[in-house]
Structure 1
Amino acid sequence: MALCNRSLSAGYARLTSISAHEVLHNNSSIFIRVLGDTPVRISNAHRNFSTQKPVSSRKAVTVINDDGRVGWKDLSAGEKAARTTQQSFNLLLVLAGVVMTGGVATLLYLEVFSTDSKTSHFNRAVGRVRSDDQCQQVLGDGKKIRAFGEASWNKWTRNRPIASRTEKDKIGNEHLYLHFNVEGPLNSGVVNLHMVRRPSEHEYEYRYLSLDVKNHQRIYLENADAEKGDKRATGKLFGVRWW
């Protein structure tokens, strides 16, 4: 009996001594082998999770919160559909922006930078007025002559758009009309411009360019009708051409 008790005590001591134990793991249980003895089963509840994949804690990818950080292969079918929808929408926005930018660029070219734009014709007409000797006599120094749109009593709204219009006659000629104001150190006046472009031509020709200043005679910088009249009268005497 004493011998049996000593064996049990020795076995218990070996069981509780960590340094004398060998821990064996498998997929379902943990065993402790007492050196030199039969393995003793401790628990069936403990499992080895070293071979299991960790559970992902990321948020589900949606159309709103997708930032592209999650790889395509890691997305579920629904998340892939959400990303495809988001990228398609972004592509449509980019295409719409490109179309709008192209439209604005085209409008700027036709209205401002093109040689046939109203702005270009206005700038050339202002340059003609500033450099003309007769205009300088009634308006003052050409460098101090300013041009602007319709006159207004409010100085903050003085630079209004230039009054202009285009129309086409029965035979297909395009007519351009400009009307703007000029002001110099001596006087102020109104400039009227009429240009014509025939169907077979690419550039406008002056019909007339005139300056009207109060209490002064109208000044013509261009007058196609008067030039035609002079050409018709040349070489005629009493209405008969002699050469």
Structure 2
Amino acid sequence: MATIYKPTEAIQLLRPITRRPICLQRKRAARVAFSTSQPARSTETSKGPPQPTRRAVTIANDSGAVRWSDLSLGEKASRTVQQSFNLSVVLVGIVMTCGVGFFLFTDVFSPDSKTAHFNRATTAIRAHPECQRLLGPGNEIAAHGEASWSRLARNRYLSSSTETDKWGTEHLRFRFYVEGPLGQGVAHVHLTKRPSQHEYEYHTLAVDVKGHQRIYLENADGKAGGKVAPKIFGARWW
């Protein structure tokens, strides 16, 4: 038996077929959109977390950790000022150290220093029989410089003078005080160094004790029997 053709039923049968490609197209578009967004996420994760901003370099907080090429113009100026100041401090320290070392050598450790001559003169006075008779035993004789309220300063300060005469001879004069259980005295030292000499030699080493005649340990003028060089044209040449 032949079926009757109904257009409405035929249209309903064809609707699912026409709708399916539209759904497939939407799914493909969604897949494409998903695939295109995936590389974007991967690029974001590859960059890593954002780097923290560093603190500005100044004269006070510069530690040298930041490279010179990474500094701005103002920061480079700050580092230059800081490094220049540090260098100047180091140079001042070196100069002061050298000055202190030079002073200690010339005034204390040098064989021609006042301290060295003071020690030699003190040793000679302690060993002299006449000084021992008027002052006391040699190991009990003390020597010191000018009187002061501080005993530490008194033991270090020596009244001295240095001059060079017209013949080029250097004269070093100083005095100090000696004390013993029997009495007190004042020691006078006069040293000379001619141009041909490298070390000082005694011209006068004498001790004055109150109430007694001056004691000469060294006397180049012959007051204690020493020999005096003859004068030529009004000057001694050796």
TM-score calculated relative to the size of structure 1: 0.70
Q: 2: CA distance between counterparts of 1:81 and 1:53? A: 32
Q: 1: CA distance between counterparts of 2:143 and 2:69? A: 66
Q: 2: CA distance between counterparts of 1:181 and 1:228? A: 22
Q: What are structure 2's unaligned runs of at least 5 residues?
A: 1-11, 21-26, 28-33, 229-238
Distance 1:182 1:203, change over 3 A: same
Q: Deviations over 1:180-221 (max 9, x none)?
A: 100011111000011111112111121110111112221111
Instruction: Indicate which of 60, 66, 85 corresponds to 1:89.
Output: 85
Whether 2:182 is the aligned partner of 1:169: answer no
CA RMSD of aligned residues (A): 3.3
More strand by share: 1
Give the number of the structure whose alpha-carbon radius of gyration is greater: 2
Q: Deviations over 1:222-241 (max 9, x none)?
A: 01111796658xxxxxxxxx
**Map of 1:42 onto structure 2:** none
Q: 2: CA distance between counterparts of 1:177 and 1:215? A: 24
More helix by share: 2
Are 1:25 and 1:48, in contact at CA under 8 Å, matched by a contact in 2?
no
Q: What are structure 1's unaligned runs of at least 5 residues?
A: 8-13, 15-20, 31-46, 233-243
> Which secondary structure state, in structure 2, belongs to the residue aligned with residue 59 of structure 1?
coil
**Map of 2:128 onto structure 1:** 132
Deviation of 1:149 after TM superposition, in Å, equals 1.5
**Map of 2:38 onto structure 1:** 25
Deviation of 1:51 after TM superposition, in Å, equals 2.7
Are 2:220 and 2:226, in contact at CA under 8 Å, matched by a contact in 1?
no
Q: Deviations over 1:81-120 (max 9, x none)?
A: 3223322221222122112211211111111111111111
Q: Percent identity, please.
A: 53
Whether 2:133 is the aligned partner of 1:120: answer no
Q: 2: CA distance between counterparts of 1:61 and 1:25? A: 41
TM-score calculated relative to the size of structure 2: 0.72
Letter in 2 for 1:25: Q
Are 1:145 and 1:183, in contact at CA under 8 Å, matched by a contact in 2?
yes
